[in-house]
């Protein structure tokens, strides 16, 4: 080669490509008492690449929502048993459903009736008969914005990992789940070694690149069910459900080794960085903050014993 390959840039590009490819298809829940209408809308949305679940029974909707929260709910207004307006109010009672857009689709053309329905937590009111292209466009743009908004609220902008407060919420949820299911749960606290020196010697931008590359490594190598958060500046918290501390330690130690070998600097001085990690396993009587404290104590020991190591 006459020119060295810019590995960092290449990985960034591949990362962006795969993120685009593995981006989840939009999912829509259609609630309409007419099976024919439900199927017509579903066909149009599926043709546009969306995943669609339909039900003609409004009473079934809350259960479907709990099973798999959709990106958007397309809701008929006049249905026997429970109308769309009542259903929207019920859906909005659940905090986890607050950010799901609800779009009403109905033959109702009376303005004040439409507004009354929207007041129950709807985001838009489309009228039947509707042009299917219009339906697809209206739904995709709603979902696109809802996803962007959600991502802004839950993700750290530098690394794309969960931000501090979301990580904490997820940990609390997982501790409750472990308590209920009596399954093991491990928490890992990672802290980059001598990171201040990295910034001082190589500049803040290089430091940022190191943070991104660690985030990328964690995302690529951990399980889809592991929750990865940027807990502080150069601290990462990983929640590993159904995992014992010993197996968490094995996984994290192999990541530690892999990370330590990454050549971060592209030109000028070579730059290698290490991290230390502390691990704690949930046990009866420990809450989320107690678990983080235990992981932090193990991390402190790892630092004290010379860094670049993983301790339980
Ligand atoms: P130790 O091995 O004991 O953890 O030493 P350390 O230098 O990593 O620890 P310290 O807490 O003293 O320094 C953390 C540094 O992380 C200081 C801060 O400037 C840097 N930092 C925090 N957030 C960011 C960031 O977003 N980007 C960059 N480049 N640096 C950051
Ligand atoms: Mg109807
Ligand atoms: Mg630190
Ligand atoms: Mg540090």
pLDDT tens per residue, range 133-157: 999 999 999 999 998 888 888 999 9
**Protein residue whose Cα sits closest to atom 27 of ligand 1:** 208
Q: How remote is the CA of residue 234 from the centroid of ligand 1, in Å?
A: 5
Residues having CB closer than 6 A to ligand 1 are 158, 191-196, 199, 204, 207-208, 211, 233-234, 303, 307
Relative to the CA of 207, which ligand 1 atom is closest?
A: 29
Ion ligand 2: residue ranges with CB closer than 5 A: 33, 76, 78-79
Per residue in 175-228, pLDDT (tens digit) is 999 999 999 999 999 999 999 999 999 999 999 999 999 999 999 999 989 999
Relative to the CA of 193, which ligand 1 atom is closest?
A: 2
Relative to the CA of 158, which ligand 1 atom is closest?
A: 26
Strands 185-192 and 275-281: antiparallel
What distance in Å separates the CA atoms of residue 160 and residue 157, rounded to the nearest whole number?
5
Decide: 91 and 65 in contact? Cβ < 8 Å: yes
Question: Is the ipTM value over 0.85, yes or no?
Answer: yes
Q: Count the residues in the chain.
A: 312
What distance in Å separates the CA atoms of residue 235 and residue 214, rounded to the nearest whole number?
11
Over 50: is that where the pLDDT of 99 sits?
Answer: yes
**Protein residue whose Cα sits closest to atom 22 of ligand 1:** 233
Vertex 134: Cα angle to 28 and 41 (nearest 5): 40
pTM: predicted TM-score of the whole model, two decimal places: 0.75
């Amino acid at each position: 080669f006459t020119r060295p390959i810019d590995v960092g840039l290449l990985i960034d590009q591949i990362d962006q490509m795969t993120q685009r490819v593995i981006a989840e298809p939009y999912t829509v829940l259609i609630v309409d008492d007419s099976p024919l209408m439900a199927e017509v809308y579903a066909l149009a949305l599926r043709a546009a690449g969306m995943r669609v679940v339909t039900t003609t029974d409004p009473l079934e909707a809350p259960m479907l929502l709990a099973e798999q929260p959709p990106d958007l709910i397309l809701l008929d207004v006049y249905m026997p048993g429970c109308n769309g307006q009542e259903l929207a109010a019920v859906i909005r009672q659940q905090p986890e459903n607050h950010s799901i857009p609800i779009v009403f689709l109905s033959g109702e053309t009376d303005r004040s009736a439409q507004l009354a329905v929207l007041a129950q937590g709807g985001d838009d009111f489309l009228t039947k008969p509707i042009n299917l292209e219009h339906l697809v466009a209206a739904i995709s743009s709603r979902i696109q914005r809802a996803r962007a908004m959600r991502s802004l609220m839950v993700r750290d902008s530098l690394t794309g990992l969960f931000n501090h407060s979301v990580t904490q919420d997820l940990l609390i949820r997982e501790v409750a789940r472990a308590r209920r299911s009596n399954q093991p749960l491990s928490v890992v606290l990672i802290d980059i070694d001598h990171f201040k020196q990295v910034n001082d010697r190589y500049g803040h931008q290089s430091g940022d690149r190191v943070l991104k590359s660690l985030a990328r490594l964690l995302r690529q190598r951990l399980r889809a069910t592991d929750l990865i958060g940027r807990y502080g500046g150069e601290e990462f918290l990983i929640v590993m459900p159904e995992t014992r501390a010993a197996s968490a330690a094995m996984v994290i130690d192999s990541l530690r080794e892999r990370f330590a070998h990454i050549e971060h600097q592209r030109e000028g001085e070579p730059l290698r960085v290490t991290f230390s990690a502390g691990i704690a396993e949930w046990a009866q009587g420990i809450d989320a903050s107690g678990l983080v404290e235990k992981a932090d104590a193990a991390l402190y020991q790892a630092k004290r014993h010379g860094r670049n190591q993983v301790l339980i």
